[in-house]
Structure 1
Amino acid sequence: MNAPEPLREVIARHGLGASKALGQNFILDRQLLARIAAIPGSLEGQTVYEVGPGPGGLTRALLDAGASVTAVERDRRCIPALAELQAEFGDRLRLIEGDALEIDEPAVAGDGAHVVANLPYNVGTALLMNWLSGAWPPWWRSLTLMFQKEVAERLVALPGSSAYGRLSVAAQWRSKARIAMNVNRSAFVPPPKVTSAVVHIVPAKAPAGVDPSIMESLTQSAFGQRRKMLRSSLKSMPGAAEAAEQLGIDLQRRAETLSVQEYIELARALS
């Protein structure tokens, strides 16, 4: 098989300057893209759901790894470049032009898909929160996602750190998150102002008796006023302060000092 065309040439040929409005930053290094595609493990015969493929660099890496890919792209300028990949790989690549925030993902990706994406920065957190909420076990088998390093560190943060917050609990109360790789800003075109990181998340068994909507409301209340003591921050959620006292949680503590397990116990009591 001939070596694929350099991504810089694909981008130039199709006039695909990265759109700041769409939060685009393209990775051109095919070896780096292959390393990202390898993070979930062997993708031979697996289904992958990709958001924001852009010119198709990561898409090709996933296809080269043996996956069948459903790619959702909002930027219609990128469709011709992706169509060339589709012509090469046939029905192993399915293209959907649309907004990922409006897609019925289980319907188009199928149950048990791996999500792998260099997410557009402006919608990355919203998409992640969608994937971490709802029915459990989820429709996805794993999440391998590029974020700004600051966001990645929030996902894996431990209690007591300044990075620990709602995202930390959301990513850790019924799944396992790790930073798989740091990516220097120079790897992107155009280079973003910050370092990035790839986070790998796999679902775990959900704790019994915990309503996800209660967990979401609880962490929203607790971290909504993170500088205040729980006595004040939990006032917006009826019964939360009383439940915390019954569990022996000191209401003079602040939200970032509670462990994920303590949030699970508190959410269970409120559920």
Structure 2
Amino acid sequence: MIEATEPLRDVIARHGLQASKSLGQNFILDRQLLARIAAVPGPLEGLTAYEVGPGPGGLTNALLEAGASVVAVERDRRCIPALAELEARHKGKLRIIDADALTIDEPTEAGEGAHVVANLPYNVGTALLLRWLSGPWPPWWRSLTLMFQKEVAERIVAAPGSKDFGRLSVLSQWRSDARIVMNLHRSAFVPPPKVMSAVVHIVPKNMPGGVKAAVLERLTEAAFGQRRKMLRSSLKNLPGALEALQRLGIDSSRRAETVSVAEFVEVARELSARA
């Protein structure tokens, strides 16, 4: 049997796992760094971790060594043999799903209360985050520990009035708390991406009542789709939006980046009552 301490670089070489640009893959080889990422959600002993895009299994192994049972979704079939070795080594603790993560019924596969921990493929990271934030609330996941390009991470946690504040900020913060817990240099990855990366930790909080996720999504899409325009212009084609601003005392001459998350939520509540 292959020893658990085999360097990840050797695992990659042995299985011929060159990172795929089309799949947005960048692998982390440093086991100490992977252990730090696996520790972000807190103690995992006896809990379930849900991982998307495990690749050769570096983070997967760190999660298993932290005591978690892992459900790993990998669409790159080249990686399955390396993951199968981990599965054999950690009897009954790792389940591999050969599929596209965007098609997975996560509550069924991972169960309620799973911690999502993933070095997300860059080309699907934002789509997956929005999927996890827009579902039923409380959500099936207990926390999200996700790696993004740093500029995306900064948008997730941005405050109103900053250059990074936008649709992703509002949708991330309206019913969860998000913070950047770790910045990662390009050199941490193989191959090195062109940009810096960051790990974001997100935990759910109570959802404001009377607000439909789909309504808030449409509102923010309209408001930030033309972010340099005043609200009276960017929201004019969204039925009821300008009337809602007036009822709430929100000046329609403001621009979207000056509107707080709470104010967006209040407008969405007004619109949700009409939907």
Q: Same fold (TM over 0.5)?
A: yes
- Which deviates more, 250-259 or 3-12? 3-12
**Distance in structure 1 (CA, Å) of the matches to 2:88 and 2:150:** 35
Q: Give runs of aligned pairs for residues 90-169 of structure 1, distance below 5 A.
A: 90-169=91-170
What TM-score does the superposition give when structure 1 sets the normalisation length?
0.99
Q: Which residue of 1 aligns with 2:202?
A: 201
Per-residue Cα deviation, 1:226-253 (whole angstroms, up to 9, x for no partner): 1100000001210101110111111100
Structure 2: 5+ residue stretches without partners: none
SS at match of 2:218: helix
SS at match of 1:90: coil
Query: Within the alignment, does 1:18 sit opposite 2:10 as a pair?
Result: no
Is the alpha carbon distance of 1:84 and 1:123 closer, same or farther for their aligned partners in structure 2, counting shifts above 3 Å?
same
Query: Within the alignment, does 1:211 sit opposite 2:208 as a pair?
Result: no
SS at match of 1:202: strand
Please tell me the residue identity of whatever aligns with 2:223. A
Structure 1: 5+ residue stretches without partners: none
- Divergent runs of 4+, >6 A: none
Please tell me the residue identity of whatever aligns with 2:105. D
Q: Which residue of 2 aligns with 1:233?
A: 234
SS at match of 1:114: strand
Query: Within the alignment, does 1:45 sit opposite 2:46 as a pair?
Result: yes
SS at match of 1:22: coil
CA RMSD in angstroms comes to 1.0
**Distance in structure 2 (CA, Å) of the matches to 1:23 and 1:236:** 36
Q: Which residue of 1 aligns with 2:182?
A: 181
Per-residue Cα deviation, 1:119-159 (whole angstroms, up to 9, x for no partner): 00000000110000021000000000000000000000000
**Distance in structure 1 (CA, Å) of the matches to 2:175 and 2:227:** 22
What TM-score does the superposition give when structure 2 sets the normalisation length?
0.97
State the shift of 1:3 in Å.
5.4
State the shift of 1:162 in Å.
1.1
Q: Which residue of 2 aligns with 1:27?
A: 28
SS at match of 2:193: coil
SS at match of 1:138: coil
**Distance in structure 2 (CA, Å) of the matches to 1:116 and 1:218:** 29
Over the matched positions of the two proteins, sequence identity in percent amounts to 76
- Which deviates more, 206-215 or 59-68? 206-215
Q: Which residue of 2 aligns with 1:248?
A: 249
**Distance in structure 1 (CA, Å) of the matches to 2:213 and 2:134:** 7
State the shift of 1:6 in Å.
0.3
**Distance in structure 2 (CA, Å) of the matches to 1:105 and 1:46:** 15
SS at match of 1:235: coil
Per-residue Cα deviation, 1:10-33 (whole angstroms, up to 9, x for no partner): 000000000001000000000000
Per-residue Cα deviation, 1:87-146 (whole angstroms, up to 9, x for no partner): 000111000001001111111000110000000000000011000002100000000000
